[in-house]
């Protein structure tokens, strides 16, 4: 296998989770930081939809972050992030990607959605935070006693939600979730994938 090529945008949560899995799996990858205002023609030729991340491995193009994560883990999963393919992981990620992300977008960009006040969108997202808080009741990570695909796939989105109003988030009763997020953001893995190119 030749070196994989990942088109990425540092702050995009989808690109973040792709980078996390690639780095964790130890797959050699060259990362091209994309300007969203001037997307490279080579990337658009591979993936006309024009969104990151896009992975090119020996001519195989993978355009969805979760598929990139799964591809990386199929190469190498030393700490059992997949938990033997536990379907509960994928159900939780689907809930994040389909439900939580909807509320997160409206909360973060409330001025674009004037139909409701920002607090309405924030409350919609809180339902998912409550679920995550409950999952952390007796362990440090969402699905196991160690980091898994679920943690890596969800943390970039929870981080984005927490950063809309950090003071509000710090004052919420989600203390286990706050600790989980802080542990994730302080991890060597996250710090490495967030290094400026």
Q: Quickly tell me which residue has 């591979």 as its tokens.
A: 46
Q: Which of 65, 94, 96, 77 is nearest to 147 (CA)?
A: 77
Residues in the chain: 197
Q: What is the pTM of this model?
A: 0.96
Residue ranges of the chain that CATH labels 1.20.1050.10: 83-189
- Average pLDDT value for the chain: 96
Could you tell me where in the chain the CATH 3.40.30.10 domains are found?
Answer: 4-78
Condensed to tens digits (0 to 9), the pLDDT of residues 167-178 reads 999 999 999 999
β 29-33/60-62 pair status: unpaired
For domain 4-78, the CATH superfamily is Glutaredoxin (3.40.30.10)
Q: pLDDT tens across 43-77, in order?
A: 999 999 999 999 999 989 999 999 999 999 999 99
Q: Which residue stretches of the chain are H helix? A: 13-25, 41-46, 65-75, 87-95, 101-108, 118-135, 149-164, 166-170, 175-185, 188-193
Q: Is the pLDDT at 1 greater than 70, yes or no?
A: no
What is the rounded CA–CA span in Å between residue 130 and residue 41?
Answer: 42
The stretch 166-195 carries a mean pLDDT of 97
pLDDT value, residue 2: 72
Q: Indicate the angle between helix axes 149-164 and 87-95, nearest 10 degrees.
A: 20
- The DSSP letter of residue 3 is P
For the stretch 75-87, pLDDT in tens is 999 999 999 999 9
Q: Which burial class, exposed, middle or buried, applies to 191 when counting CB atoms under 10 A from its CB (0-12, 13-18, 19+)?
A: exposed
Joined tokens for residue 115: 């139909």
Alpha carbon distance 7, 45 (integer Å): 12
User: What average pLDDT does range 92-116 have in this prediction?
Assistant: 97
pLDDT tens, position by position, 116-132: 999 999 999 999 999 99
Classify domain 83-189 by CATH architecture: Up-down Bundle (1.20)
The string of DSSP letters for 24-46 reads HHT--EEEEEPBTTB--HHHHHH
């Amino acid at each position: 296998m030749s070196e994989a090529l990942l088109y990425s945008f540092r702050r995009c949560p989808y690109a973040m989770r792709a980078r996390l899995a690639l780095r964790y799996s130890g797959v050699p990858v060259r990362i091209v930081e994309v300007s969203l205002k001037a997307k490279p023609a080579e990337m658009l030729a591979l993936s006309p939809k024009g969104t990151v991340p896009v992975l090119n491995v020996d001519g195989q193009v993978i355009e969805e972050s979760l598929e990139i994560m799964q591809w990386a883990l199929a190469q190498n999963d030393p700490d059992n992030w997949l938990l033997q393919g536990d379907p509960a992981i994928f159900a939780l990620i689907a809930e994040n990607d389909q439900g939580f992300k909807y509320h997160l977008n409206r909360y973060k960009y409330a001025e674009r959605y004037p139909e409701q006040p920002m607090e309405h969108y924030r409350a919609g997202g809180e339902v998912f935070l409550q679920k995550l808080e409950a999952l952390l009741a007796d362990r440090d990570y969402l699905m196991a006693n160690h980091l898994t695909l679920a943690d890596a796939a969800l943390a970039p989105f929870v981080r984005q939600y927490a950063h809309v109003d950090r003071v509000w988030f710090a004052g919420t009763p989600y203390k286990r979730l706050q600790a989980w997020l802080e542990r994730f953001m302080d991890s060597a893995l996250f710090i490495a994938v967030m290094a400026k190119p």
